[in-house]
Amino acid sequence: MEIKAVVGDITEIQADALVVNLFEEVKQPGGATAAVDKALDGAVSQLIDQGEIKGKLGEVTLIHTLGKLPARIVATAGLGKKEEFNLDKVRRVTGDFSRLLRKSNCHSVATILHGAGTGSIEPQDSAEAITEGSLLGLYNFTRYKKPEYEEIAEMLVISDSSQLTAVSRGIGNGKIMAEATVIARDMVNEPANQMTPARMAEIAEETANKYDLEFKVLDSRDMEAMGMGALLGVASGSSQPPKLITLGYKGNPDSRNTAGFLGKGVTFDSGGISIKPSEGMGEMKDDMAGGAAVMAALAAIAHLKCKINITAIIPAVENLPSGNALKPGDILKAMNGKTIEIISTDAEGRLILADALSYAVKQSLSPLVDLATLTGACRVALGTGYSGLFSNNQRLANEIVKAANKTGEKMWQMPLPEEYKEQNKSLIADIKNTGNRYGGAITAALFLAEFIDDVPWAHIDIAGTASSNKESGYTVKGATGVGVRTLTELALSLAKQGGLV
């Protein structure tokens, strides 16, 4: 879909549909909505009086113009309560009305800048949010299936001439963010027989070539030579060879500081010998969502030309049962020399990240941020609306929360209590790979903390947010691409601090 800024009178715009808005409890429309209402002989006001248009968030009312305007449909989008309105609600509203208009066979849509003016949102920010909301809300994974509806071909964002440059800039930034998120969604939505560790490495190489990134992939021999016994242990049950993928972006070559973004890349997780129930196992193709998000974020960061150096590290494996598979009771040695007793082979993500984090420390990367669909316990604790955030550095945690708030990717900081480390103690090894059933997201994060030395580090558990089983706002069923926009915003923020926290 092409999105562009245009200057013009909304009542004269040529499009299949016009989008205006209304805050909750507003009885008399103003601005562009009032202009459209007048052209429709008071149809909007009449529907407000009749209680059919309430302005509630998520409400979209379609009015057929019957030739009174060049557009055949006017969509009135509810913005909710004015005092609660923010940029993420612009994204949500745009996703909702975009899907409805696609179902109404609209190929060209014109929209006002939602929240600009009365909503106290800058025109550039509104345009960026509209762009993200429309592209993400209209997302379809159609590689193996024909789409149900024809796509909207064009969206026009109506602007004043004085705002045209800013609005165009916002659209450009929104496209970069949304398109990177779509990369991650596409990767996660692929079936596991297609999205193998080797395919992840191929996509990383394609990304490197497109954005002039450094690319490197370590194979089993390299991992053996470096002592990555934890990662190799997880991979031992699969015929798919593991890959440790790295992408390097140097946006500030004068700086010696390089941050590390790490993403879990389990392309399918059966649980291994500690096998999962068959019901819902197909969803475990999304266990590489962290790796996909990190890879896609680096593409966005490079596209935006952030003045920062970042290395992305993605350990990619399959976790399957076989005669060669890792077993409960086995002991592995990680790259940093620590021995790990295996309690459950289904706690595999922390094992591959143990070696990836050790590798990042050896590369002198700082700060470190890892993104992983790590624990069902985090999903139990926070549901499907929030990712769990754990960190040994409050400044870094604050930066991540700030970035998440800006993008609408909700996160909640969780504790890292020293006393919970007791659960990870082993009688026969330095550490075991699971604690007891209580506080499982915390003990998993504490496990990862064993492999970071004293480097500023944050762990984001996206087990509950990586996929969605319902359609709402700019979230659609399937992969969400969570983390891409937060990591990109984090990079933009860290760039202002020279890459340090």
The catalytic residue positions are 276, 350
Measured distance CA(24)–CA(57) in Å, rounded: 8
Measured distance CA(278)–CA(330) in Å, rounded: 25
CA torsion sign for 330, 314, 198, 476 is positive
Measured distance CA(337)–CA(125) in Å, rounded: 48
Beta bridge partners of 110: 18, 156
Over the Cα atoms of the chain, what is R_g?
24
DSSP character string of 233-278: HHHTT-SSPPEEEEEEEES-TT----EEEEE-EEEEE--TTSPPPS
Measured distance CA(113)–CA(234) in Å, rounded: 50
Residue the block writes with tokens 């990367």: 365
Measured distance CA(459)–CA(462) in Å, rounded: 10
Measured distance CA(76)–CA(91) in Å, rounded: 15
263 Cβ neighbours under 8 A, 6+ residues apart: 288, 290, 291, 292, 293, 294, 295, 312, 313, 314, 370, 371, 372, 483
**Chain-centre distance for alpha carbon 211:** 20
Q: Among 75, 80, 69, which Cα is nearest to 25's?
A: 80
Q: Which two tokens stand for residue 318?
A: 């399959």
What is the longest distance spanned by two Cα atoms in the chain?
81
Measured distance CA(145)–CA(118) in Å, rounded: 42
